[in-house]
Chains A and B, each alone.
Chain A
Amino acid sequence: MNSHIQEKRGRRLGITYSAPMGLWLTFFFLVPLCIIILYSFLKKGLYGGVEWEFTLTAYRQMLNPNFMRVFLRTLWVAALSTVITITLALPCGYAMARSRHQVMWLALVIIPFWTNSLIRIYAWIAILSSEGFVNEALKALGVIGESLPLIYNQGAVITVLIYMYIPFAILPLFTTIDKFDFQLLEAARDLGASKPESIFKVMIPNIRSGIITAVIFTFIPIFGAYTVPLLVGGKDSYMIGNIIVDQVTKTRNWPLASAFSLVITVVSTIGVIWMMTSTASERARLKAPAQVVDANGGIT
């Protein structure tokens, strides 16, 4: 009959459908975020809390070189852990997608979630500590005489972070690889691509969305990590998450804690936006192949 009445109705229904989600996000995300933004511009209360007085003190305090060092370290740890996690998760997802026993592998990836994450971190302490499983085993085999410093350092933090977040990378990678048409790899080989070329030029671009999801799912929680550096890290493993906890519970500087929380939110948001725009530009690039010819021609 007439399509734009239907379209209007459709749009109105769209709002109805998204209302629960909208309300949820407003109350549990937007409102708390606003409170955090507000607190970061207020004066710190003597025993925690805030005084209603506008000030930029929190941000001035944040520029302290010690804090800057923690910020950069957090960025570095998160980036490194994410890269390693994705590198390990890709072949895992690939193997799972090609396996006949997908359900079993999926179960094995998910089962660790049945145990509380704190308990799993303590298990790592039992494995890595100086009287832990690894050191005792190596000593029993006579490989080492004295315990290796496997725990309470940066390496332990990164190892455990990778362990904690690798399922979040494997799952989205598995789902996209599972949907990938493997005949495309044969087509690539047929057209003259070597095995690695077929993977990097055909498979990786086609599972891009899965890789992006995996990066977001690992980088963002690792950037805000708090328990892992606290339990298996050393003096120089402090991350932003730890600073925030300290500012809330020990130093009782809520505005500073809020400012650091905002930093995490902003970095995460920048990451997400960057990923989204890079996919958009990728799409735009494909719409103008003639330009690509020139651009690539210069390089090759």
Chain B
Amino acid sequence: MGKRLKGFDVTVKDVSRAYGSFKALDDVSIEIRKGEFFSLLGPSGCGKTTLLRIIAGFDSPDNGVVLLDGKDILPLPPDKRQVNTVFQSYALFPHLSVYENVAFPLRLRKVPAAKLDAKVRDYLHLVQLDNHMDKKPSMLSGGQKQRVAIARALINEPSVLLLDEPLSALDAKLRQNLLVELDHLHDQIGITFIYVTHDQSEALSVSDRIAVMNQGKVLQIGTPYEIYESPATDFVARFIGETNLFPAVVKQCVPYEDYYMTTLDIPALGTEIKVTDYDNLAVGQHVSFTVRPEKLKITGHQPTRVGKDINLFRGIVEEPIYSGFQSKYYVSLENGTVIKVIQQHANYMDEGPDIDWKDQVFVSWSAEDGYIVEVVDS
């Protein structure tokens, strides 16, 4: 079906919303582009759902503006906004059949019968529910309910589709499948998707851009790659994926090729490490250092040749976790600090199981694989 609709851009500017003394949104500004798959990602209570409800019209901000295609939509009630929502619990009308649920918006607009019927069938086909149109929502599986909710939200041909944790009630496997379907649907229809989730892997896998939120503030906006590889704050680094994060002090910073080779003193590791950075940091500056577990190498024997930008540690495997495609090790370094290492089992004959509990191992990473997250003032 060659259905292609027009997406609008959404501008959220200086939006704040407090419930009593609790600041759900604290001066939030986000610019969402036309046709983008944009995710609001954060733990529960971070304000992402409040922001979605403000865009939908179910809540209003204490101050700030929300523009849809450049026009202020805050004075409009929910039914007058070119925005539709897929609710977390689907909110299907239990007294209506699948067909009537999807037809509901058209019946309100008194669309003529023949046109209505064609359109409802069209959208039911889009979400592959042609054979279930006579069923009541209670007779559907979670995935099917979800599809009804999507068809019902799209039939008004909105410019922006809001999705409030639409997959959270489904099991992991189905979630993956539906996520891919959602992504296809987004590519097919072309409207702006604003996707609220607390699941970082969901957000990383489908979004064009992500806003990471915590405690009512937007911490970082960027592509999944930017968010994962260059987190703006400690929180982002910890919340997205897994990481090893340590406070550190800059010891030395010298130009190296087109960036700077920085030496950090990390008390937790009991030693100095090397990391490359684009900024020339002042000596004595307090920063956070992070290195992703999958960027660490783990070996049972001491590497023979160690480059000058390699950080090498000796440790004991405290907890090996084998999960098929990879193994995760909690390695206790000599000074007691525990560091996480993930080893991919990319080849059949990989040496996976030969590192075992209580084995002595060597953990190493290149200076280029570490990352300085946040410059801590004071």
Contact surface of A with B, Cβ cutoff 8 Å: 181, 183-184, 186-194, 197, 201-202, 205-206, 208, 286-290, 292-294, 296-298, 300
Contact = CB atoms under 8 A, between A and B. Distances in A.
B365 interface: no
25 contacts: A184-B93, A187-B85, A187-B93, A188-B93, A189-B57, A190-B78, A190-B79, A190-B84, A190-B85, A192-B79, A192-B109, A197-B108, A201-B104, A202-B93, A202-B95, A205-B95, A206-B94, A286-B100, A289-B134, A290-B99, A292-B100, A294-B113, A296-B113, A297-B113, A300-B112
Contacts of B89: 181, 183
Contacts of B104: 188, 191, 201
A49 to B, nearest CB: 53
B114 A286 contact: no
A189 B84 CA distance: 10
A190 B161 CA distance: 11
Contacts of B96: 286
B95 A191 contact: no
B100 A181 contact: no
B250 interface: no
Summarize A's interface: helix, strand, loop or mixed: helix
6 cross-chain pairs, A with B, having the tightest CB-CB distances, nearest first: A297-B113, A187-B91, A289-B99, A191-B105, A189-B78, A205-B95
Nearest to A185: B91
A294 to B, nearest CB: 7
Nearest to A286: B97
A287 B97 contact: yes
Interface in B72-123: 77-79, 83-85, 87, 89, 91-97, 99-100, 103-105, 107-110, 112-114, 116-117
B198 interface: no
B339 to A, nearest CB: 45
A183 to B, nearest CB: 5
B178 interface: no
A167 B126 CA distance: 49
Contacts of A294: 113
Interface of B: 56-58, 77-79, 83-85, 87, 89, 91-97, 99-100, 103-105, 107-110, 112-114, 116-117, 133-134, 136, 152-153, 156
Contact of B136 (A286, A290, A292): A286
Given A191-B104, A286-B100, A186 B91 contact: yes
B366 to A, nearest CB: 50
A287 B134 contact: yes
Contacts of B114: 297
Nearest to B96: A286
A191 B77 CA distance: 11
B91 A181 contact: yes
Contact of B113 (A192, A286, A288, A300): A300
Contacts of A298: 113
A192 B93 contact: no
Given A287-B134, A297-B114, 18 more contacts: A181-B89, A183-B87, A186-B58, A190-B56, A190-B78, A190-B79, A190-B84, A192-B79, A192-B108, A193-B79, A286-B96, A286-B97, A288-B134, A289-B103, A293-B103, A296-B107, A297-B116, A300-B107
Contact of B112 (A189, A193, A297): A297
Contact of A293 (B109, B116, B153): B116
A206 B57 contact: no
A68 to B, nearest CB: 40
B79 A189 contact: yes
A187 B107 CA distance: 15
A278 B96 CA distance: 16
Contacts of A206: 93-95
Nearest to A180: B94
A206 B77 CA distance: 24
A111 B117 CA distance: 53
A191 B84 contact: yes
Contacts of B94: 184, 206
A52 B377 CA distance: 106
A289 B78 contact: no
Contacts of B156: 191-192
Contacts of A186: 56, 58, 78, 85, 87, 91
Contacts of B116: 293, 297
Contacts of A289: 97, 99-100, 103, 133-134
Contacts of B133: 289
**Which of B77, B91, B96, B133 gathers the greatest number of chain A CB atoms within 10 Å?**
B91
B166 to A, nearest CB: 13
